[in-house]
């Protein structure tokens, strides 16, 4: 039926627009519709690949190797929309594409302008996804806040699409803030202003998602409806959820968001099937079995920098009927001369070292891996976290004191992790980033093979350095065993400690493919092992 829902934000940023859009997507899917998700980012960067995790949170990687905004991760967790380069649009890309066409002479000498050329290109990009056969609804989240200079061309494109396709085919959802002031009073004025601003651009919102710390009283909802020209039932109270963000689809459903959206678009759909979400919430809030996972990394203070890893750990918990508590440990703390590693890591049931770039904090990660290996604590290394296993094992088991990745020590005596071109037996491979999905072959008799239960798996990559083939055999023989390789056997994809309760590293990023209703097998197995380790520790203490 090819209908569109645009989600804009008002008042201020960080209102959880991405999760709101994703939750609406999940509700529409639960009613049997085929949904696509698109994120529009008004910044001029062409993609998120070069953006610092400090500024921007995690970079989410798609199968086709696009480095995108972390909201695509929310889409992946909440919906089954296919996600690729097509689903992430930035101002940078739109301008690049228009300028490219201009250089090719495709505008036939006309003056190239924001309206219509930029706006046309925006509409083309959106409709290239949403007009495909079999797609029912396309939800487009417009990043930024209404009123920002950068988002104007996108909002203008939205206005045009409403005009061209008609109100029954396009819905405008606005996420806004109802702040609480002294003595707990909720204020609607900022919302009135932001809707006014939207209407000045020519967009009348059909649905308001009102973020507030508490549920909105009915009289306030009616007041907002009256001031904004939105139906009473379409003013939805998006109050703060204390438990888990996976409750948000259920909260919206209880207020009839999916019914309202479908009614406004004139769509008949089946009943909502939400038992999967109910189970997720029930385990995450109800289970009294808690597993503590230490995540040892360097961007720890920023809560979104390992978003998909954090979520995948929760999913692993759900699959094991337990609640995962994350203990974030800044790896640099482990490096301090007076740091007591055993004390800092002693309280966790499992240790995960996630991906990362640059040498800062790596020594602390190596200490974490060493602690896990020598104390029988389950360890899961992802990308850099697997390379750390190699460095640790080379230094402390092989006795190659100065072993390192050439990323951190370019001219060291033992480059155990290096660029392919630096490895003697592989030539002309180039030092570019391996990005996106590729296949791995899991070797018989390994832990990873038994976890996946199959030989060939496809996972996403985002890295430049590889385990050196020069040291591969030496490492394997000493007990850091290769569990997975690239399909042609040329590169290491996974390593494990066979004599250990659970120690495994992967060069790829399984976290991008984990869902709350369907945990990734590696996270399920890791959290399961951590739970067993925790139970063993408790047993020993009693």
Q: How many residues bind ligand GLN (CB under 6 A)?
A: 10
Does position 363 interact with ligand GLN (CB under 6 A)? The reply is no
Q: Which residue's Cβ has the minimum distance to ligand GLN? A: 355
Q: Which is nearer to ligand GLN, 21 or 384 (CB)?
A: 384
**Helix, coil or strand: residue 403:** coil
Does position 356 interact with ligand GLN (CB under 6 A)? The reply is yes
Closest CA to 461 of 409, 525, 511, 530: 511
120 CB contacts (<8 Å, ≥6 apart)? none
Residue 337 CA neighbour count, 13 Å, CB half: 0
Q: Which is nearer to ligand GLN, 306 or 452 (CB)?
A: 306
Q: Which is nearer to ligand GLN, 164 or 458 (CB)?
A: 458
Of positions 3, 315, 414, 463, contacts ligand GLN by CB under 6 A: 463
How far apart are the C-alpha atoms of 452 and 516, rounded to whole Å?
Answer: 18
Of positions 18, 355, 436, 484, contacts ligand GLN by CB under 6 A: 355
Q: Which is nearer to ligand GLN, 20 or 391 (CB)?
A: 391
Of positions 262, 383, 400, 451, contacts ligand GLN by CB under 6 A: 383
Min separation Cβ 355 and ligand GLN, Å: 3
Min separation Cβ 480 and ligand GLN, Å: 17
Beta carbons of 201 and 155 less than 8 angstroms apart: yes
How far apart are the C-alpha atoms of 65 and 48, rounded to whole Å?
Answer: 12
**Token pair belonging to 541:** 């203490």
Min separation Cβ 391 and ligand GLN, Å: 11
Residue 518 DSSP label: B
Q: Which residue has the tokens 């921007």?
A: 56
Min separation Cβ 357 and ligand GLN, Å: 4
The residues that bridge with 39 in the sheet, in sequence order, are 88, 141
- Check if 509 is active-site: yes
- Check if 315 is active-site: no
* Catalytic-role residue among 383, 414, 463, 533: 383
* Catalytic-role residue among 253, 407, 511, 520: 511
Does position 57 interact with ligand GLN (CB under 6 A)? The reply is no
DSSP track, 67-132: EE-THHHHHHHH-----SGGGEEEHHHHHHHHHHHHHTTTTTTPPP-IIIIIHHHHHHHHHHHHTS
Q: Which is nearer to ligand GLN, 299 or 465 (CB)?
A: 465
How far apart are the C-alpha atoms of 269 and 298, rounded to whole Å?
Answer: 46
Of positions 95, 239, 357, 396, contacts ligand GLN by CB under 6 A: 357
Class of residue 427 by CB neighbours under 10 A (exposed 0-12, middle 13-18, buried 19+): exposed
Min separation Cβ 465 and ligand GLN, Å: 3
* Catalytic-role residue among 56, 117, 414, 509: 509
Closest CA to 517 of 253, 246, 293, 245: 246
Q: Which stretch binds ligand GLN (CB under 6 A): 231-239, 354-362, 396-404, 422-430?
A: 354-362
- Tell which positions 384-403 bind ligand GLN, by CB under 6 A: 384
**Helix, coil or strand: residue 201:** helix
Of positions 206, 404, 407, 511, contacts ligand GLN by CB under 6 A: 407
Q: Which stretch binds ligand GLN (CB under 6 A): 217-225, 247-255, 350-358, 487-495?
A: 350-358
- Check if 67 is active-site: no
Min separation Cβ 349 and ligand GLN, Å: 23
- Tell which positions 2-31 bind ligand GLN, by CB under 6 A: none
Of positions 277, 314, 380, 465, contacts ligand GLN by CB under 6 A: 465
Of positions 462, 500, 515, 520, contacts ligand GLN by CB under 6 A: 462
Backbone φ and ψ for 391, nearest 5 degrees, come out as: -65, -45
How far apart are the C-alpha atoms of 234 and 226, rounded to whole Å?
Answer: 11
Residue 471 DSSP label: H
Of positions 101, 363, 464, 537, contacts ligand GLN by CB under 6 A: 464
Min separation Cβ 384 and ligand GLN, Å: 3
Beta carbons of 90 and 43 less than 8 angstroms apart: yes
Q: Which is nearer to ligand GLN, 264 or 383 (CB)?
A: 383
Min separation Cβ 304 and ligand GLN, Å: 16
The residues that bridge with 1 in the sheet, in sequence order, are none
Q: Which is nearer to ligand GLN, 125 or 307 (CB)?
A: 307
Could you give the angle at the alpha carbon of 298 between the alpha carbons of 334 and 499, nearest 5°? 60
Class of residue 152 by CB neighbours under 10 A (exposed 0-12, middle 13-18, buried 19+): middle
Q: Which is nearer to ligand GLN, 112 or 437 (CB)?
A: 437
Min separation Cβ 77 and ligand GLN, Å: 20
**Token pair belonging to 134:** 């079999």
Beta carbons of 362 and 334 less than 8 angstroms apart: no
**Token pair belonging to 239:** 């109050």
**Active-site amino acid positions:** 383, 509, 511
Give the residues lining the site for ligand GLN (CB under 6 A): 355-357, 383-384, 407, 462-465
């Amino acid at each position: 039926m090819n209908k569109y829902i645009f989600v804009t934000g008002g008042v201020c940023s960080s209102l959880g627009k991405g999760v709101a859009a994703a939750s609406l997507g999940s509700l529409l899917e639960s009613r049997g519709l085929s949904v696509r998700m698109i994120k529009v980012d008004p910044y001029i960067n062409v993609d998120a690949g070069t953006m610092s995790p400090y500024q921007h949170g995690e970079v989410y990687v798609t199968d086709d190797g696009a480095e995108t905004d972390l909201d695509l991760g929310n889409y992946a967790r909440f919906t089954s929309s296919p996600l690729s380069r097509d689903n992430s649009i930035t101002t940078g890309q739109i301008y690049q594409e228009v300028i490219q066409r201009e250089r090719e002479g495709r505008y036939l000498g006309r003056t190239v302008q924001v309206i219509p050329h930029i706006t046309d290109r925006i509409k083309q990009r959106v409709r290239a996804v949403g007009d495909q056969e079999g797609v029912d609804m396309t939800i487009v989240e417009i990043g930024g806040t209404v009123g920002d200079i950068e988002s104007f061309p996108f909002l203008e494109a939205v206005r045009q699409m409403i005009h061209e396709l008609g109100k029954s085919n396009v819905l405008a959802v606005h996420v806004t803030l109802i702040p609480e002031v002294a003595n707990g009073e909720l204020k609607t004025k900022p919302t009135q202003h932001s809707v006014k601003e939207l209407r000045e651009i020519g967009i009348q919102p059909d649905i308001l998602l009102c973020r507030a710390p508490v549920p909105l009283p009915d009289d306030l909802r009616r007041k907002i409806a009256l001031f904004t020209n939105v139906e009473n039932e379409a003013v939805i109270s998006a109050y703060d959820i204390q438990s888990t963000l996976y409750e948000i689809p259920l909260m919206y459903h209880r207020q009839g968001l999916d019914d309202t959206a479908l009614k406004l678009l004139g769509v008949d759909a089946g009943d909502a099937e939400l038992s999967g979400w109910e189970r997720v919430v029930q385990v995450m809030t109800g289970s009294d079995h808690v597993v503590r996972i230490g995540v040892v990394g360097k961007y720890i203070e920023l809560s979104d920098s390992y978003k998909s890893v954090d979520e995948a750990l929760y999913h692993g918990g759900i699959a094991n009927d337990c609640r995962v508590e994350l203990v974030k440990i800044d790896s640099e703390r482990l490096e301090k001369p007076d740091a007591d590693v055993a004390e800092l890591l002693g309280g966790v049931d499992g240790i995960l070292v996630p991906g990362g770039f640059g040498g800062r904090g790596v020594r602390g990660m190596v200490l974490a891996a060493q602690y896990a290996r020598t104390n029988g604590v389950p360890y899961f290394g992802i990308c850099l976290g697997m390379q750390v296993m190699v460095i640790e094992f080379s230094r402390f088991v092989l006795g190659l004191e100065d072993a390192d990745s050439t990323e951190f020590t370019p001219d060291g005596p033992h480059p155990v992790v290096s660029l392919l071109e630096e490895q003697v037996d592989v030539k002309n491979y180039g030092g570019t980033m391996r990005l996106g999905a590729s296949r791995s072959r899991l070797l018989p008799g390994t832990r990873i093979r038994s976890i996946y239960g199959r030989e060939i798996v496809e996972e996403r990559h985002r890295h430049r350095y590889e385990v050196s083939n020069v040291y591969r055999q030496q490492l394997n023989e000493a007990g850091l065993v290769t569990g997975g390789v690239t399909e042609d056997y040329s590169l290491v994809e996974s390593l494990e400690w066979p004599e250990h309760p659970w120690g495994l590293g992967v060069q790829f990023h399984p976290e991008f493919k984990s869902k709350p209703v369907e945990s990734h097998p590696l996270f399920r197995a890791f959290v399961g092992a951590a739970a067993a380790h925790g139970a063993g520790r408790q047993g020993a203490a009693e």
